[in-house]
Amino acid sequence: MSAATDSDEIENTSGRPPKAVVGSHREEEEVFGAAYDPRIVRRIWSYVRPYRMQVAISVVAVLVFTLTQLAIPLLIRYAIDNGMATNGSNRSTLTWVIAGFAVTILINYAASYVQETTVGAVAENLLFDLRRAMFSHLQRVSLSFMDKTEVGRLMSRLQGDVNSMQEFLETSVMSVGDIVLLFGIVGVLLFLDLRLGLLTLSTMPILFIVRLFWLPPAKVAFMGAHETNSTANGALAEGINGVRTVQSLDRQRVNFDLYDDKAHTNLRAHLRAAKFAQVMVPIVDTLTGIAMATVIVVGGSMVLGQALDVGVMVAFLFYIQRFFDPIRSLTMQYSVMQRAMASGQRISEVLDVPVDVVDGPNAIALSRDMDGSVEFKNVTFGYRKNQPVLKNISFKVKPGETVALVGPTGSGKTSAMALVHRFYDVWEGQVLVGGHDVRELTQDSLGDQVAMVLQDSFLFTGSVIENIRYHKTQATREDVVAAAKAVGAHDFIMRLPDGYDSKLEQRGGNLSSGQRQLISFARALVADAKILVLDEATANIDSYTEMLIQKALVTLLQGRTGLVIAHRLATIRGADRIIVLQNGEMVESGNHDQLMAKKGLYARLYNMNYSSFDDIPDELVAGAAPIGKAT
């Protein structure tokens, strides 16, 4: 390590710094899928099925609605031609048409109300149903899936993707109406006058073609606006979250310039998207103008020549005004469908994650009166094929005994603990709790008898009491207080503004890490299980809290079988027995004095003077004598 050039480095600090960015590029997920994928549609349909009556009703309603919409210009036409004809005018005909009109709009009102309420409600229900299906499935899927999947990713399934399914359902029903409206208008125009109809309708394909060419680049522009938006927002969020670091390292000026770049890119992308969106307006208006002009010239001449009723001409003008709406929404619907397919694909993927660990058909409930022993019999286990993490491990923990598992990182301690709780199933051998193979027990009863304290004490939003009680909702306030007192958490809890009812911020952010641990200890105590599996936290805590934790540990283990992944020397020394794991194999076992006398791996690691075996660098562990040659 040479310090020679440290002071004479001359750095040019003008211009954009080479090693600075704000925000990060978020990998956007595939937004558009194939427009139609029967497999996904079938899959999602099973969630729509319970509402098929409502869907049918809303489809019927939308048809009725569309038909009444179609009828209105026809009624006007009839009123003009038959009710107001200058020769032999007939007021009663007009009155009848008006009555018909009134009935039509009443039906229209009813149909629109029924359609929108039904489809709106069904779409909301579908959203919540899909979300619940995924959420409850995630409660059962294998932990190895959860281990390798980011929470953020799952959250976007549970939020964004279900939303696009909802949007899809809502708009599909409307699309049915749009299709009927489109064909209806075409049909009526041709029926009213074939020649004029054909002439007028000839503008329609033009719009179709224009939109076909317009859509792909427009979509890119819209996506660009969306993406640059989230990039700029990401940079903003980062600036807010990291503001203390930004200020202490005096990065404000640099960051401002970088943020300006992003914000400006975003501005340009938005303006581009706006151009694409707006360019359609004059095109549609021009085509409408052409169609109306056609009706005026051709239709008008026909009326002049008595070849066409004037009412028909008026009806044509009315239809033209509605003409392009269905085309516009149908082309939009295409994007909605693509988006929904992509989302549906992702939702199906979550729903299809296999559930590896399930209760056997003859699973029995683990009784409270079991002895509390834990035994590993020739257990081999791993996460990836041919890469066992535990190799043929056997040991037995007697009821009430405390066993410390020690070993360097990657030795398999955490995996062994997870097996006691049957988070995963073993490859070979057996894990026995209270004399029963865990695979023959119901998972719930096993969970009731095996409490776990994890290294990272996870707290939920809610009050202190809710966190200590957690799922034991029948536990009384006294139980909770007693548990908190037993682990020495009572004092600091009482110092919180509302005592046990104080709200914890997200993940218990308003507590120190030591205090969070004490609360998770209390939670395990309330769970009152025969067996306690504990993964000791490694973080260095101030000496005062540390003392409390050590005492609490003793209380917690009293009268229970304890399996502890130990890091602190005091904990290791306090155990009845120490099991040393290395590379998935059990290399030593015995109490501290026995192991020290043996001068094996444990003694060597111990003498390296690290506060935790996990900290020992790999090269030193490797150097701590190969196992076979130790004696």
Partner 1 sequence: MSSEKAESAKGRATSFAKISGRRSSPAKTSLEHAADAQWGRGLSTFVRISRLTLRHPWQVAITIVSTFIAATLQLFIPRLLGRAVDQAHGVVSGGSGGAAAQNALWVTAITLLVVSILRGLFTMSQNYYGESVGHRTGYELRLAFYEKIQRLSFSFHDKVHTGDLITLGMLDLEGVRMFFSTGLVRVVLLSVLVGVGAYLLISTDLVLGLLSLSFVPFVAWRSSVTNISLRLTWNTLQERLSVLSRVMEENLGGIRVVRAFAAQEHELSKFDHSSAEALELAHKRVNIRVSNTSAMNFSFLAAMCLVLWVGGNKVIDGEISVGTLASFLTFMTILQMPVRQLGLMVNSFARASSCGTRLFELLDLELPIKDAPDAKDLVVTDGTLRFDNVSFTYEGAGHPTLSGVSFEARRGETVGIVGPPGSGKSTLVHLLPRFYDVDGGSITIDGQDISKATLQSLRRAVGLVQQDSFLFTTSIENNIAYGNPWAREQRIERAAESAQLHNYIAGLPAGYGTIVGERGVSLSGGQRQRLSIARSLVLKPAVMIFDDSTAAIDAGTEQRIRSAMKRFAKDRVNLVISHRLSSLMHADQILFVEDGRIVERGTHEELLAMGGRYRALYDLQVRPGDEPLQTAEAS
User: Is residue 584 within the footprint of partner 1 (CB under 8 A)?
Assistant: no
**C-alpha span between 498 and 464 (Å, rounded):** 9
For residue 334, the minimal CB distance to partner 1 (Å) is: 12
- Looking only at residues 50 through 109 of this chain, which bind partner 1 when binding is defined by CB under 8 A? 72, 76, 79-80, 83-84, 89, 91, 94-95, 97-98, 101-102, 105, 108-109
- Looking only at residues 126 through 145 of this chain, which bind partner 1 when binding is defined by CB under 8 A? 128, 131-132, 135-136, 138-140, 143
Pick from 177, 239, 372, 600 the residue near partner 1 by CB under 8 A.
239
Smaller CB separation from partner 1, 391 or 469: 469
- Looking only at residues 258 through 297 of this chain, which bind partner 1 when binding is defined by CB under 8 A? 259-260, 263-264, 266-267, 270-271, 273-286, 288-290, 292-294, 296-297
Q: Tell me which residue has tokens 């004095």.
A: 593
Smaller CB separation from partner 1, 255 or 373: 255
In sequence order, which residues have a C-beta less than 8 Å from that of residue 615 and are 6 or more positions away? none
Q: Tell me which residue has tokens 């020495």.
A: 488
The one-letter amino acid code at 161 reads D
For residue 448, the minimal CB distance to partner 1 (Å) is: 6
How many residues contact partner 1, by CB under 8 A? 180
User: Is residue 8 within the footprint of partner 1 (CB under 8 A)?
Assistant: no
Residue 207 burial by Cβ neighbours in a 10 Å radius (0-12, 13-18, 19+): buried
User: Is residue 386 within the footprint of partner 1 (CB under 8 A)?
Assistant: no
Pick from 46, 512, 558, 594 the residue near partner 1 by CB under 8 A.
512
User: Is residue 254 within the footprint of partner 1 (CB under 8 A)?
Assistant: yes
User: Is residue 242 within the footprint of partner 1 (CB under 8 A)?
Assistant: yes
**C-alpha span between 294 and 510 (Å, rounded):** 73
Distances (CA, A) of 580 to 40, 374, 380: 50, 17, 16
Pick from 60, 179, 190, 569 the residue near partner 1 by CB under 8 A.
569
User: Is residue 206 within the footprint of partner 1 (CB under 8 A)?
Assistant: no
For residue 201, the minimal CB distance to partner 1 (Å) is: 17
User: Is residue 364 within the footprint of partner 1 (CB under 8 A)?
Assistant: no
Residue 36 three-state SS: coil
Instruction: Say how many C-beta atoms besides its own lie within 10 A of residue 95's C-beta.
Output: 12
User: Considering only 191-199, 339-347, 387-395, 444-452, which stretch makes contact with partner 1 by CB under 8 A?
Assistant: 444-452
Q: Tell me which residue has tokens 């193979």.
A: 437
Outline where DSSP puts E strands in 425-576. Answer: 428-433, 436-437, 450-453, 462-463, 503-504, 531-535, 561-565
**C-alpha span between 43 and 346 (Å, rounded):** 12
Q: Provide the edge-to-edge strand list for the sheet that holds 531-535.
A: 450-453, 531-535, 561-565, 402-406, 577-582, 585-590
User: Is residue 558 within the footprint of partner 1 (CB under 8 A)?
Assistant: no
DSSP state letter for 353: S
User: Is residue 370 within the footprint of partner 1 (CB under 8 A)?
Assistant: no
User: Considering only 52-60, 187-195, 299-307, 552-560, which stretch makes contact with partner 1 by CB under 8 A?
Assistant: 299-307
Region of residue 258 (left: phi > 0; alpha: psi -120 to 50; beta: else)? alpha
Smaller CB separation from partner 1, 371 or 444: 444
User: Is residue 243 within the footprint of partner 1 (CB under 8 A)?
Assistant: yes
Smaller CB separation from partner 1, 37 or 439: 439
- Residues pairing with 451 in the sheet: 532
Q: What are phi and psi of 288, to 5 degrees?
A: -60, -45
Pick from 87, 240, 361, 478 the residue near partner 1 by CB under 8 A.
240
**C-alpha span between 337 and 168 (Å, rounded):** 6
Beta carbons of 420 and 438 less than 8 angstroms apart:
yes
User: Is residue 369 within the footprint of partner 1 (CB under 8 A)?
Assistant: no
Helix then strand count (H, E) for the chain reads: 23, 12
User: Is residue 372 within the footprint of partner 1 (CB under 8 A)?
Assistant: no
User: Is residue 202 within the footprint of partner 1 (CB under 8 A)?
Assistant: no
Smaller CB separation from partner 1, 38 or 147: 147
Pick from 92, 245, 387, 474 the residue near partner 1 by CB under 8 A.
245
User: Is residue 562 within the footprint of partner 1 (CB under 8 A)?
Assistant: no
User: Is residue 208 within the footprint of partner 1 (CB under 8 A)?
Assistant: no
For residue 147, the minimal CB distance to partner 1 (Å) is: 9
